Structure 1
Amino acid sequence: MKINTDDKTVVKDYFNAIGFDRWQNIYGNGKVNKVQEDIRFGHQQTINTVLEWLKLDGNLSGLIICDAGCGVGSLSIPLAKEGAIVSASDISEKMVTEAKRKAENILGKTNNINFYVQDLEKLKGSFHTIICLDVLIHYPTDNAAKMINHLASLTNCRIILSFAPKTFYLTVLKKIGEFFPGPSKTTRAYQHSQDNIVQTLKQNGFKIQRKGMTSTKFYYSQIIEAIKE
């Protein structure tokens, strides 16, 4: 499977350079502007929703989980704190380095979380649960479907995804944003049809278990949990 090199290179270079400082602040406790503060709040809501779903099942301790596109560990660290065995990867070496630092500060030395630098399409292993949050926004529809196919092949149990939904309002908002470019702003942003995502999951033998939506002024994320039929 081959992901569009241009998109992947843009994402990798961005999060290893000027984008790292921006998103490290947003995901952490750094000083941010009002828009970034809103995005921080929205992203944390998505994290909280997924954690709530997993905790409701009552079997999080010892569960083998892959956090694909882990960023600075916003989800991986609380999962490990709950006793899950976490394999956390990201395309950005700087993001992974920061995630390791945060994990050591919060958890100390632990054997139940492993961070490493890896492209999504090159992930290997077998996991109970695959989680991929706020990553599909960086890739166009065809490549997103290929990534979902690959992630689905790594689990016989469950996959949880979040993505920017394709709606008229968000399309207009995105167009407006393109009039105000900035080098530290963002990578290419792709919206995805919920129907297309659901169809791809069904083609891989999964059925929808739960859905959620995070919606703030500047952050929109559709969350889907699917389990193997």
Structure 2
Amino acid sequence: MNAADDKTIVQNYFNSTGFDRWRRIYGDGEVNKVQLDIRNGHQQTVDTVISWLKADDNLAGLSICDAGCGVGSLSIPLAQAGAKLYASDISEKMVGEAKDKAQEVLGNNHNLTFAVQDLESLSGKYHTVICLDVLIHYPQEKAAEMINHLSSLSESRLIISFAPKTPCLSLLKKIGSLFPGPSKTTRAYLHREADIVKILESCGFSIERKAMTKTRFYYSRILEATRKSA
């Protein structure tokens, strides 16, 4: 299966059964214990990124691209804090849900633009580009292409998260693949942190901050990279 097939699978999944599943996980309704654990893990990742941005004390008016915005878990609170957001997702249904949530929280007066768009077609320039929990759906070669493209959009900073490739997680992934479920229709790709850092450095960025979110069923390594001075 090639990378193009992976993208098609991700798009179809999050416009069908995957949308219903992840809308529940990212929402606040009743879910099972595994889904609740994933919800809490994802929220921890979002909270970490927001804390980094707020700590810099320049969030108001900052231009940010949220690539793979899902249902707006990150974009909406950043817009609430005064940032100027361009939020995109490959899934039309996810973007529709994000728009509805933004309307409920922000009303009509906000600096938040949503678009149904795959990552490769994003354009423009932003102070900060953020891509959370997207790379897990793509193999290393495709992830490298995505990071290169995201880097070209960033004037100052790139924040990404990925499922780290460690012996423990590799074993858990192998075990999990033996018990496929009806909603597990995308592959889960793990990435070595050293490989991701190497790609970022080749794009002219250096690592500033790192964090790790780890729950029972959710693992996400977060890297903040800033553009090196010329």
TM-score, scaled to structure 2: 0.97
Query: How many correspondences in the alignment?
Result: 227
> Aligned partner of 1:137: which letter?
I
8 A Cα contact 1:15 1:94, kept in partner: yes
Which residue of structure 2 aligns with residue 221 of structure 1?
220
8 A Cα contact 1:67 1:130, kept in partner: yes
Q: 2:194 and 2:111 mapped to 1: Cα distance?
A: 35
**CA deviation vs aligned residue, 1:75-124 (integer Å, no higher than 9, x gap):** 00000000000000000000000000000000100240000100001100
SS of the equivalent of 2:52 reads helix
Q: 2:102 and 2:53 mapped to 1: Cα distance?
A: 20
Q: 1:21 and 1:31 mapped to 2: Cα distance?
A: 13
8 A Cα contact 1:67 1:89, kept in partner: yes
8 A Cα contact 1:24 1:30, kept in partner: no
Which residue of structure 1 aligns with residue 130 of structure 2?
131
8 A Cα contact 2:162 2:190, kept in partner: yes
What are the equivalent positions in structure 2 for 1:38-187 lying under 5 Å apart? 38-187=37-186
Q: CA RMSD in A?
A: 0.9
> Aligned partner of 1:41: which letter?
N
What are the equivalent positions in structure 2 for 1:194-205 lying under 5 Å apart? 194-205=193-204
Which residue of structure 2 aligns with residue 12 of structure 1?
11
Q: CA deviation at 1:196?
A: 0.5
> Aligned partner of 2:63: which letter?
I
> Aligned partner of 2:122: which letter?
L
8 A Cα contact 1:163 1:192, kept in partner: yes
Which blocks of at least 5 consecutive residues in structure 1 are unaligned? none
> Aligned partner of 1:46: which letter?
T
> Aligned partner of 1:216: which letter?
T
**CA deviation vs aligned residue, 1:21-53 (integer Å, no higher than 9, x gap):** 100000011221111100000000000000000
Q: 1:196 and 1:181 mapped to 2: Cα distance?
A: 28
8 A Cα contact 2:88 2:116, kept in partner: yes
> Aligned partner of 2:81: which letter?
E
8 A Cα contact 2:79 2:110, kept in partner: no
Q: 1:227 and 1:106 mapped to 2: Cα distance?
A: 31
Q: CA deviation at 1:155?
A: 1.1
> Aligned partner of 2:157: which letter?
R
**CA deviation vs aligned residue, 1:122-180 (integer Å, no higher than 9, x gap):** 10010000000000000000000010000000012000000000001111111111111
Q: CA deviation at 1:186?
A: 4.5
> Aligned partner of 1:102: which letter?
K
SS of the equivalent of 1:153 reads helix
Q: 1:127 and 1:97 mapped to 2: Cα distance?
A: 23
Which blocks of at least 5 consecutive residues in structure 2 are unaligned? none
> Aligned partner of 1:16: which letter?
N
Q: 1:26 and 1:47 mapped to 2: Cα distance?
A: 14
> Aligned partner of 1:203: which letter?
S
* 1:207 pairs with 2:206: yes
8 A Cα contact 2:207 2:225, kept in partner: yes
Which residue of structure 1 aligns with residue 189 of structure 2?
190
> Aligned partner of 2:161: which letter?
S
